[in-house]
Structure 1
Amino acid sequence: MAQETHNRKSQTVKFRDHIVDIQTVKINDIECLRLRDVQLRFDTVRAFQIDNVQQAFLHDEHGNDLEPLRIVACIGQIVEAVESMKDFSNDTHGQLVRIEGKIDRIDINVQEIMRQIANVMRQMYELHEYTTPRYFFILPAKHSDMMLIDAVQNWFHTHYKLYFLCECSHDPKEMHVAPHEGYSIKRARDFVVKYAPYLRTTIQIAQVLLSVGGLVIPQLENVSKVIDDVIPSQFKNPKCYEDMKQQLQMVDDLLNKVDNQRNRAGASIISKQKLKGTPLQGTELREIQTYLELVDDKRSLGNLYRIVTDDGYIRWVCHKHYDEASYNNEMSKYINEFKAMGGKFDETTNEALINQVNITKENVEMMCKALEKGFNIEKLICRECSIGENDLKKLLDIIINRSSIRCLNMGSKWSQSSIIKQ
């Protein structure tokens, strides 16, 4: 067995862009550089070369390599450590995968920042512009016999009331009448002439709601009695379907007569196209209040509340949907923050994945707050992530005791461990 005697000499070794001095050992009176000493610094090294000539390991008379694998030290020269092409390829691939992962996370962060900027810009505009509910329609306050109202002038003398709609959905069939008894309209002629093009659209929404039952019976499941008491009685009575249909038709006919008058007055084709289904601007919406006889001494019309969606749009909804929207907005914020830290969240399965992320203290605080507030994650998967011990303890405490997470899976692709809550 070879005997080893340590000394203070060292061999200069170069590996890629790194140059280090590694202590040599004397074995059988020969100063040697051992492969395993170099591998302690660079584990993929397989051989040595000097001046591009690969050096043979010391061997016996039969050509068998001596253990430990070593070469004769060349003090004063630089020995280049060499890795196999396979190891180099694997390491390069691993580096590329890590770089791609970082680029993906950076790209996600940039996209999220740009989305947030666009949302803030849109929100600033809409908050300034839309300070009044925008979906409304009119109905005769009392039943009127259309056959007896033969002149447009008589139609304008009819008493009309204005009703707002809750913008709880982008689907008109899922909207409902706002929980308010309606507003009497003064100067009906001026109002109808001014808003006729817009009323043409909203009256169609009301007709759709009537066809699916939403106008007769507002779709307010589990609505509180306080709100239910202020819903106009005619909208709660399913027996009034035909009467409601007739009143909507009356308003539709009125709008047609206004259009006919405008046509006879010689409006240009371009003007007609501009007026057809024209969306109202903020100023025009705010002017609605000047046509209403009694305006609530409240912050908004129709007992509606203004909310901002997670994509920056303004909507006016009833109290019930206001609470729901506030919760959904809060959850959307947590999902976006989770994605910004490098995570992925599947809203269909409620599964969350964090892969190769350095989980910071700030990340942990965000996750703990979100989970305590009701961020609904069924399964959390952490792959090859780093996290401080104290942060991990804090996160585990929240996951186990104060979250909806039922399964936590942590580890690498080679080794995994799971915690499943019963």
Structure 2
Amino acid sequence: MAQEARNRKSQTVKFRDHIVDIQTVIINDIECLRLKDVQRIFPAVQILSIDNVHQAFLHDKHGNDLEPLRIVARVDKVVEAVESMKHSSNDTDDKLDRMDVKLDHIVANTQEILRQIANVMREMYELNEFTTPRYFFILPAKHSDIKAIDFVQNWFQTHYKLYFLCECSHDPKEMHVAPHEGYSIKKGRDFVVKYAPYLRTTLQIVQVLLSAGGLVIPQLGSAAMAINNVVPAQFKNPKYYEDMKQQLQMVDDLLNKVDNQRDRAGASVISKQKSKGTPLKGAALREIQTYLELVDDKRSLGNLYRIVTDDGYVRWVCLQHYDEISFNNEMSKYINEFEAMGGKFDQKTKKAFINQVNITKENVEMMCKALGKGFNIVKLICRECSIDED
């Protein structure tokens, strides 16, 4: 049984730059310094050393350390408290890991700033270039008698109407005709000759729409149905499909006639190749309005609205898709802000992860605002994070 003396002394202990006096204990008539008393002040300490010699803990005749772990006190000396190399290495690794995380955050923030600058520059260019919807096609007007047009020379005398497409998708099968009954074209011959190469491209999109069952031409008073992708009953019958196919074929033949005229005029192969599939922009795109009758006073051609996507591109979309894209842009902004603070968000599972991040008041306010705006997070996982009380 351990016996303790009444008169106790203290042992001077040094750990790094700290020096303290720790009370010694008499056990079995031996004045001792217990390791646990040192660890109460310096938790990382595992070794006690005197004059650079690591002291062995008191042990029995079989070499087993006695409990509690202790060394013989040397009150005339200073005991050096030492942490193990393993613990020191782990501590260094932890510091390096924290530095890596901070560097990753700095890099992520820098990349986000550069991305935002690039988007702003692209947006400035696109807002200036694309002031008019760029996807449009033509069809013979409803009152034109297609069967009566048997001669090529009569094709340019046919009344054509122009329709815009909602740029709601990069997939032609998912696009739709803008909710507008179309615009009559003035100077039809000049218009077709000028825009024939581009009309060839948009005609292919419309043909894809027809084959996918999505080519609905809004009539006067039926624009709302086009917005909601509701196909009027008369468009579901086979006759509508055949009529539309015939009208598109007529436009295709008209464009072929323009190409043939260019061939006879001696246009070079290079110039013809350059004109095919060339996207319209700038002045050529804005000039379209001069060929249209009854252009909307509000300049919202085809009841389409200009919107900038989160990556800085301009698109012209209907009201329904305008609202959807605006919402998606807002959510993308919150995701970017969340990732800039060091988090990760899985858009498929809607799970958010934050690892080794010092969460600030601004971070919390941003997340609360995002959640209030509809940012859907199914599960939030925080690992080794701290919260800034300021």
TM-score by length of 2: 0.85
Residues 135, 167 of structure 2: 8 Å contact kept = yes
Provide the secondary structure at the position in 2 that maps to 1:327.
Answer: helix
Q: Does 1:228 align with 2:225?
A: yes
Residues 186, 293 of structure 2: 8 Å contact kept = yes
State the match for 2:355 in structure 1: 355
Alpha-carbon distance change, 75 to 309 in structure 1, aligned in 2, over 3 angstroms: farther
For 1:381 and 1:62, how far apart are their aligned partners in 2? 51
For 2:62 and 2:317, how far apart are their aligned partners in 1? 90
For 1:387 and 1:144, how far apart are their aligned partners in 2? 74
Mapping of residues 250-265 of structure 1, within 5 Å: 250-265=250-265
Structure 1 gaps of 5+ residues are 219-223, 392-422
Residues 15, 82 of structure 2: 8 Å contact kept = no
Provide the secondary structure at the position in 2 that maps to 1:215.
Answer: coil
State the match for 1:20 in structure 2: 18
For residues 148-185 of structure 1, the C-alpha deviation after alignment (integer angstroms, 9 at most, x for no partner) is 34335x32222111100011111100111101111111
For residues 76-130 of structure 1, the C-alpha deviation after alignment (integer angstroms, 9 at most, x for no partner) is 86x5433334333443444444344334333333332332222222112111211
For 1:177 and 1:306, how far apart are their aligned partners in 2? 16
Alpha-carbon distance change, 199 to 308 in structure 1, aligned in 2, over 3 angstroms: same
For residues 344-365 of structure 1, the C-alpha deviation after alignment (integer angstroms, 9 at most, x for no partner) is 2111111122222222111111
Provide the secondary structure at the position in 1 that maps to 2:374.
Answer: coil
State the match for 1:5 in structure 2: 8
For residues 393-418 of structure 1, the C-alpha deviation after alignment (integer angstroms, 9 at most, x for no partner) is xxxxxxxxxxxxxxxxxxxxxxxxxx
Q: Percent identity?
A: 69
Alpha-carbon distance change, 355 to 13 in structure 1, aligned in 2, over 3 angstroms: closer
Deviates more, 1:322-331 or 1:43-52: 43-52
Provide the secondary structure at the position in 1 that maps to 2:8.
Answer: strand
For residues 365-420 of structure 1, the C-alpha deviation after alignment (integer angstroms, 9 at most, x for no partner) is 1111111111111222222322368x9xxxxxxxxxxxxxxxxxxxxxxxxxxxxx
Mapping of residues 13-412 of structure 1, within 5 Å: 13-14=15-16, 19-25=17-23, 27=25, 35-49=35-49, 52-57=52-57, 67=68, 69-70=70-71, 72-73=73-74, 80-141=80-141, 142-145=143-146, 148-152=149-153, 154-216=154-216, 227-228=224-225, 237-238=235-236, 239-387=239-387
For residues 35-71 of structure 1, the C-alpha deviation after alignment (integer angstroms, 9 at most, x for no partner) is 3454344422211335643234467899765856246
Deviates more, 1:236-245 or 1:296-305: 236-245
Once the 2 structures are TM-superposed, how far is the Cα of residue 257 of structure 1 from its aligned partner?
1.1
For residues 231-250 of structure 1, the C-alpha deviation after alignment (integer angstroms, 9 at most, x for no partner) is 9x999633422121111111
For 2:75 and 2:160, how far apart are their aligned partners in 1? 104
For residues 255-281 of structure 1, the C-alpha deviation after alignment (integer angstroms, 9 at most, x for no partner) is 111111112211122211111111112
Once the 2 structures are TM-superposed, how far is the Cα of residue 205 of structure 1 from its aligned partner?
0.6
Once the 2 structures are TM-superposed, how far is the Cα of residue 315 of structure 1 from its aligned partner?
0.8
For 1:71 and 1:157, how far apart are their aligned partners in 2? 114
Residues 15, 42 of structure 2: 8 Å contact kept = no
Q: What is the aligned-residue RMSD (CA, Å)? A: 3.3
Q: Which amino acid aligns with 2:146?
A: D
Provide the secondary structure at the position in 2 that maps to 1:168.
Answer: coil
For 1:380 and 1:140, how far apart are their aligned partners in 2? 57
Alpha-carbon distance change, 41 to 265 in structure 1, aligned in 2, over 3 angstroms: farther
Provide the secondary structure at the position in 2 that maps to 1:284.
Answer: helix
Residues 177, 226 of structure 2: 8 Å contact kept = no
Residues 161, 185 of structure 2: 8 Å contact kept = yes
Q: Which has the higher contact order (CA 8 A, sep 6+)?
A: 2
Residues 32, 72 of structure 2: 8 Å contact kept = yes
Once the 2 structures are TM-superposed, how far is the Cα of residue 291 of structure 1 from its aligned partner?
0.9
For 2:208 and 2:104, how far apart are their aligned partners in 1? 45
Residues 60, 66 of structure 1: 8 Å contact kept = no
Q: Which amino acid aligns with 1:227?
A: A
Q: Which amino acid aligns with 1:179?
A: P
Provide the secondary structure at the position in 1 that maps to 2:296.
Answer: coil
Residues 25, 31 of structure 1: 8 Å contact kept = no
Provide the secondary structure at the position in 2 that maps to 1:5.
Answer: coil
Alpha-carbon distance change, 46 to 198 in structure 1, aligned in 2, over 3 angstroms: same
Alpha-carbon distance change, 229 to 32 in structure 1, aligned in 2, over 3 angstroms: closer
For 2:163 and 2:233, how far apart are their aligned partners in 1? 11
Q: Which amino acid aligns with 2:281?
A: Q
Alpha-carbon distance change, 225 to 195 in structure 1, aligned in 2, over 3 angstroms: closer
Residues 129, 282 of structure 2: 8 Å contact kept = yes
For 2:193 and 2:209, how far apart are their aligned partners in 1? 24
Alpha-carbon distance change, 345 to 135 in structure 1, aligned in 2, over 3 angstroms: same
Alpha-carbon distance change, 340 to 73 in structure 1, aligned in 2, over 3 angstroms: farther
For 2:308 and 2:172, how far apart are their aligned partners in 1? 19
Q: Which amino acid aligns with 1:124?
A: M
For 1:362 and 1:317, how far apart are their aligned partners in 2? 34
State the match for 1:402 in structure 2: none
Q: Which amino acid aligns with 2:224?
A: I
For residues 181-214 of structure 1, the C-alpha deviation after alignment (integer angstroms, 9 at most, x for no partner) is 1111111122111111111100111111111111
